Amino acid sequence: MKNTFLEYGYSEEEIENRVNDTFYSIFEGMNRFYFEGLEDTGYFMDTGNCDARTEGISYAMMISVLMDRKDYFDRLWKFAMKFMYMSEGPMKGYFAWSVAPDGKKNAWGPAPDGEEFFAMALFLAGQLWGNEEGDSLFNYEMQARKILRTCLHHEIPMWTKDTALIRFVPGCDFSDPSYHLMHFYRFFAIWADENDRPFWERAEEASRDFLIKCCHPKTGMNPEYANFDGTPKTVGPKNEHGDFYSDAYRTAANIGLDFLWQEEINSHNKNNQQTESQKKFSKIADNIVKFFANIPTEDFMKYEIDGTPTQEKALHPIGLLATLAQATLACSKNCKKEAEIIVRRFWETPLRTGERRYYDNCLYMFAMLALSGKYCPQILVGNTKIDIFRVMSM
């Protein structure tokens, strides 16, 4: 898989050390936010809010499977099932989005990004490490299919049946653009229940079309929440979440990763033709990278999606920088200069410390994996690990 850092002249040894050091810092170092939980479990602590979230647990599981760390993965998954899974109530079958470190639920509702990351991480775990039999917690792929089945067929589903778009929360009439993981849905269409596979094929393209509508045509920015027609959605007495702020940063990173995975699939299929969505995603990436390339990270603000700065500083500036770096994976040759500025600045920027480090550093780790060619799902064939894109092309 493409290794952007290597293309910019960093050595393989430097890159390998940096990825491993980042993982160590997050899971084991002095500024870690992975902690051991009760009964041989583990969790990511949202250090800004002192809770454990499905967002963080599922992110940690994805990082663990990409780094081939089954020990961490299994503790995290046990935490999710023991303390987050809801076995009763109107949201039965989903995962409570927030719990205290001791496992006490802070909420009795889910956040759909947790479920989709859980499912993808579990599928990858099963492909890499194999599955136990029957109803075992570690029959990973069976558990993933169960999650996706619930998401689609629950009385209060997470996806709309008509538009195939993910909701912000089950039953609501708007979405969060950063929840749209079309690159995951491609694999759900292969591994989910057979009857649901056509839906995931629809969802893959529907999400790409939706993000193209959400992102501003000049800045590439998107709102935190959006109506199903792509227009900004504001909620609450202060009319918030219609601007480019914390949640919204992840959309550019997702566009970059989707572009990378599509390129990888095309390469193995000996197809050099970009799809229309790839061309449009490339334009979005160019726009947002060019907007931020010459703004110092410490000067990042909260913005209206047309680029108008508000009076509020970015709460997660390093997280924003990380997502911009990942977005460069989709940039065209017309953005070569600005993309290199962003990637080199990211490389030179250390992990965040302090109470807000959790969110920034999750995004940092994902960008580090993507730009080093390691955000690459693998499958075990005999005793050899090969990337899944090669398998798909066979």
Catalytic site residue 13? no
With H, G, I as helix, E, B as strand and everything else as coil, classify residue 26. helix
- Strand, helix or coil at 235? strand
**For residue 179, what is the DSSP state?**
G
Cβ atoms within 10 A of the Cβ of 347, count? 17
Using a 10 angstrom Cβ sphere, with 0-12 exposed, 13-18 middle and 19 or more buried, the burial of residue 238 is: exposed
Residues in Cβ contact with 394 at an 8 Å cutoff, skipping those fewer than 6 apart: none
- Asked if 138 and 131 touch (Cβ cutoff 8 Å), the reply is yes
Catalytic, out of 74, 204, 247, 338: 247
DSSP string, 203-231: HHHHHHHHHHHHS-TTT----SSB-TTS-
Both tokens of 358, joined, read: 């959790």
> DSSP H helical segments within 154-300, as ranges?
182-191, 197-214, 249-268, 276-292
Round to whole Å and give the CA distance between 310 and 329: 28
Instruction: Write the DSSP symbol of residue 136.
Output: -
Separation of first and last alpha carbons in the chain: 17
| From 51, 55, 116, 360, the catalytic residue | 55
In one letter, which amino acid is 324? L
Residue that the structure tokens 């850092």 belong to: 5
Non-local CB neighbours of 172 within 8 Å, separated by 6+ positions: none
46 tagged catalytic? no
| Six token digits for residue 319 | 């997280």
Catalytic residues: 55, 247
